[in-house]
Amino acid sequence: MGGVPFYEPGEGGLDASRGLLNPVENVSWNYSNQTLLRLGLSLPTEAQWEYAARAGTSTPWWTGDVAASLADAENVADASARAAGTDWVETEDWDDGHHVHAPIAAFRPNPFGLHDVLGNVSEWCLDRWGSFELPTRPGDGYRLVEGVLACVLRGGCFDSPAIQAAVVERFSFTPDISNYCTGVRPARAVE
């Protein structure tokens, strides 16, 4: 993949300015994993991702119990998406000012100081898709899944209504898939 991977301008109401502070998207699990390994980083496991995203909270969103608590904290499908002409089925009433992904630190961070863990772009995890009932590896919580190709994405996307950006929400794609919602948050062991 050459250049900076962004969606194509003009795609379905998604055209907007963006710069180097915007997150990459259109990255597959394979591309993300290979790139991070080359840099001495890794994809987070689902367990690591959720620990970081929750940041000590136990509510549906780290911002609280109600969807509207996201309004000044995370970039989800909102009134600005409707105004931009997107055809997304479900959007929130409030206007968060960003109908596509927002640059880093456009919204306040979670209690761990992490920005954009929900909404904005979805984040690949190391794990293959598997039931929460399956056992996990000691140490990093990697889920021990067999015979599954699809990999997990967490956090929702800028085109997600709040409910799909809840901390517990997850979905999956095969590792070769990429689109405007597939992004990455690098992880690194604490030394």
Instruction: Give contact residues for Ca ion (rule: CB under 5 A).
Output: 75, 78, 96, 98
CA 46/CA 125 separation, integer angstroms: 6
Residue 117 contacts residue 104 (beta carbons within 8 Å): no
Minimum CB distance to Ca ion, residue 167 (Å)? 18
CA–CA separation, 141 and 127 (whole Å) = 9
Q: Which residue is nearest to Ca ion, using beta carbons?
A: 78
Rounded least distance, CB 96 to Ca ion, Å: 4
Q: From 25, 5, 47, 13, select the one nearest 154 (Cα to Cα).
A: 47
| Least separation in angstroms between CB 165 and Ca ion | 10
Closer to Ca ion at the Cβ: 29 or 61? 61
The number of beta carbons lying within 10 Å of the beta carbon of residue 105 is 10
Least spacing, CB of residue 69 vs Ca ion, in Å? 15
Task: Determine whether 171 is exposed, middle or buried from the number of CB atoms within 10 Å of its CB (0-12, 13-18, 19+).
Answer: middle
Q: What's the rounded Cα separation, in Å, for the pair 187 and 154?
A: 14
* Beta pairing partners, 173: 151
Written as one letter, the residue type at 157 is C
Distances in whole angstroms, Cα of residue 132 to Cα of each of 44, 46, 117, 141: 16, 10, 20, 11
**Cβ of residue 81: shortest distance to Ca ion, in angstroms?**
6
Measured from the CB atom, the residue of 72 and 176 that comes closer to Ca ion is 72
In the bound state with Ca ion, the residue whose beta carbon lies nearer, of 75 and 178, is 75
Least separation in angstroms between residue 58's CB and Ca ion is: 25
Q: Which residues, in sequence order, are bridge partners of residue 183?
A: 123
Q: Give the residue with the Cβ less far from Ca ion, 60 or 161.
A: 161
CB nearer to Ca ion: pick between 26 and 75: 75
Task: Tell me whether residue 98 or residue 128 sits nearer to Ca ion (CB atom).
Answer: 98
